[in-house]
Amino acid sequence: MKFVILATLVAFTAGLVLPNIPAKLSGQALTEYVNSKQSLWKASIPKSISLEQVKRRLMNTKFVAPHADEDILVREEIEAAAIPDSFDARQQWPNCQSIGNIRDQSDCGSCWAFAAAEAASDRFCIQSNGTVNTLLSAEDVLSCCSSCGYGCEGGYPIEAWRYLVKTGFVTGGSYEAQFGCKPYSIPPCSETVGNITYPECPEDGYDTPKCVQKCTNANYNIAFKDDKHYGATAYAVGKKVAQIQAEILAHGPVEVAFTVYEDFYQYTSGVYVHTSGEELGGHAVRILGWGTENGTPYWLVANSWNVAWGENGYFRIIRGTNECGIEHAVVGGIPKV
């Protein structure tokens, strides 16, 4: 049965990735082409985010590639019968506030820090059986991890998890909520959140926030050093689907990096498969589950482009074919609780 499914997937995706697909299409022409060539997902031009903003939110594809020096944890593959057909971390751990939380990275290539802070928040809650139920700060690792990369210009996801082990993350939520010790300092762009409409972002995006070793939220009453949450381990996960699923089942959502093409910006709903459009850069996100729709297996993924994009901030992408490289650079870690 496994070989039949694999053969079906290969044949299916081969039928979508046709030779001589025009990569130069953009805007409405790209929308119409994508929607005419496949029926797995719907494309449209989002009202909440521009293509130029998307480009500024991405990072160089060098940050997407797996690194030879990563400590790879390859979990033993569990029997296929033990892996459920569908899984949603939001339903499995409903009391963990971070798992269903969608953030907004704004016009800064901080996705690597966001996905790390989000998945780590999930894992602290899961590992502690809900005792540590908080939101960890993307700003803390974005601005202060010198070994992670280049801040708003991109960073290495595995280094964010290593920073969690060595230095720790303080708490901090979105700009809008101003939660925790060090909430995000970059406002959303042209978004209306909680009856507040935020102005357009600078034409060239935002610079990396300055690193400060103190809480920036004046209303937070826990000392910076006492607010730190530390990881016990940081590692890459095996590339096989069953290994990724086993990791999520055991410890919660994972961080992944993949290559973004122009048609992904136009994703509205359904199971994404790259169909056309130019390569834009790399992006890090959080996988929190999987399922099947009309026979097509998919990963359930949380993005960091606010709730107005995609499926209320989430997207689904075909599972089992390493679409856009999403299965080849999975990282995570075990919290110290």
Which residues form the catalytic set?
111, 283, 303
- Tokens for 326? 């999403």
Output the CA–CA distances (angstroms, integers) from residue 254 to 41, 248, 332, in the order listed: 24, 7, 5
How far is Cα 171 from Cα 211, in angstroms, rounded to an integer? 15
- The enclosing H or E element of 56 equals helix 51-57
Residue with tokens 């606010």: 306
Measured CA to CA, the distance from residue 184 to residue 209 in angstroms comes to: 9
CB atoms within 10 A of CB 41: 27
Q: Please list the residues that pair with 149 across neighbouring strands.
A: 155
As a whole number of angstroms, the distance between CA 150 and CA 156 comes to: 9
User: Strand ranges (DSSP E) for 216-335?
Assistant: 231-237, 254-261, 267-272, 279-293, 296-302, 314-318, 330-335
| Residue 324 in tokens | 């856009």
> What is the DSSP pairing of strand 41-43 with strand 196-197?
unpaired
- Burial of residue 85 (CB within 10 Å: 0-12, 13-18, 19+) is exposed
